[in-house]
Structure 1
């Protein structure tokens, strides 16, 4: 006579269900905490101390900037960052004061302060960049004292 092996019947009990729920929600909470911590660490910071006060003069600053008629462009040729500022007639503009910050759009860890030299037609900074998207934030003061501010995108492909 042959005997069949004994099978044990498995039943899901309350502690199995509780363990499953705790594990599932534990994973969800851990992922959310990780994402929140990384978001706070990579946040570049405050753009302006008081956005309400900045908004009160926005239109007049924008209008003054538009009256300059400048066409501003930035590009990278592999070894140099080239910033061109041209007036409404297409002639290059040399400004008395130029400040620039080059960085990634999403965080400030790779921010650079390029040192531009005037070459007679554009501002040039010797700078090699890794591939990806870069933003160039410029602040330039015109001869008449008007402040010009703009963010330009510089895409690097390899």
Structure 2
């Protein structure tokens, strides 16, 4: 009977171990990077580059709104079990501001599919209202950005908040 040779680790075994180890690490990294890129693109708004380029317009609109004395308040009214109303009130030094076109982008953290753009309808006395289906409102913090534009001269005011 021949004596069995003991197993000895040589250079080929070490090289194979390194290749297998780092191959597994690289494969796992590729899987995680592809899953991360497909699940969340990293953009919280559409066309972020264009928004950044137009930031001077945003600053000018805010300065004009301060000069006009516009003050915007908002609330989410739960009128009944099926309907919520997003209510915005705009006033200036002279009183309520009517004749505005107001659009609100509503965003819920973690519920990207629920995000909507809501056009508010003018009521009276500077109040603007938009209806939301209460069943489609996720149970989390609501963040929003809005734009109010006066039809007569194009004066704009942006506003943002959370509820």
Task: Please indicate the TM-score interval, normalised by the length of the shorter structure.
Answer: 0.5 to 0.7
Name the CA distance, whole Å, in 2 between partners of 1:87 and 1:70.
4
Name the CA distance, whole Å, in 1 between partners of 2:44 and 2:58.
24
1:69, distance to aligned residue in structure 2 (A):
1.1
Q: Does the CA contact (< 8 Å) of 1:70 and 1:88 recur in 2?
A: yes
| Partner residue in 1 for 2:131 | 126
In structure 2, the residue corresponding to 1:22 is in which secondary structure? Answer: helix
Q: Does 1:84 align with 2:89?
A: yes
Name the CA distance, whole Å, in 2 between partners of 1:11 and 1:48.
56
| Partner residue in 2 for 1:3 | none
Shifted more, 125-134 versus 54-63: the winner is 54-63
Q: Does the CA contact (< 8 Å) of 2:58 and 2:158 recur in 1?
A: no
- Measured against aligned partners, the alpha-carbon deviations of 1:51-108 in whole angstroms (never above 9, x if no partner) come to 54x355555433212112111122213322121212246x332234223332346886
Number of equivalent positions: 146
When you count strand as a share of all residues, which structure comes out higher?
2
| Partner residue in 1 for 2:61 | 61
TM superposition score normalised by structure 1: 0.67
Match of 1:109 among 109, 113, 125: 113
1:22, distance to aligned residue in structure 2 (A):
1.0
| Partner residue in 2 for 1:75 | 75
1:48, distance to aligned residue in structure 2 (A):
6.4
Q: Does 1:138 align with 2:146?
A: yes
Q: Does the CA contact (< 8 Å) of 2:147 and 2:159 recur in 1?
A: no
TM superposition score normalised by structure 2: 0.65
Structure 1: gaps spanning 5 or more residues: 1-7
When you count helix as a share of all residues, which structure comes out higher?
2
The CA RMSD over aligned residues, in Å, is 3.5
In structure 2, the residue corresponding to 1:109 is in which secondary structure? Answer: helix
